Structure 1
Amino acid sequence: MKPEDLLSDDFLKQFKTGQQLNDFLGQIQKRAIEKMLEGQLDGYLGYGMNEQSKSINTRNGYGKKKIKTHYGESEIQVPRDRDASFNPMIVPKRESMVEGIEEVIVSLYAKGMSISDIEEQIMDVYKFEVSTATISRITSRVAEDIVAWQNRPLEPVYLIVRMDGIVFKIRENSKVINKTV
Structure 2
Amino acid sequence: MTQFQFNLNIEDLKDSIMNSNIDAVVKASVVLVLNSVMEDERDKYLNAAAYERTNDRRDYRNGYYERDLIMSIGKLTLKVPRTRNGDFSPSVFERYARCDQAFLLSMLEMVVNGVSTRKVKNIVQQLCGESFSKSFVSSLTEKLDPIVNQWANRPLNTMYYPYIFADAMYIKVREHHRVVSKAVYIATAINENNEREILGLKVDHKESYEAWKDFFQHLQARGLQSPKLVISDAHKGLKKAIETEFVGTTWQRCTVHFKRNIFCQLPKKGMEEVKIGLKRIFEAVTIEDARNFKEEFLDQFKDNPKLEKAINTLEEGFEDAVQYMTHPKKFHQFIRSTNSLERLNQEVRRRERVIRIFPNTQSAFRLIGAVLMDCAEEQARKPVLAIGK
* Normalised-by-shorter TM-score class: 0.3 to 0.5
Query: TM-score, length-normalised on structure 2?
Result: 0.21
Query: TM-score, length-normalised on structure 1?
Result: 0.42
Q: Find the structure with the greater CA-based Rg.
A: 2
Per residue, is there more helix in 1 or in 2?
A: 2
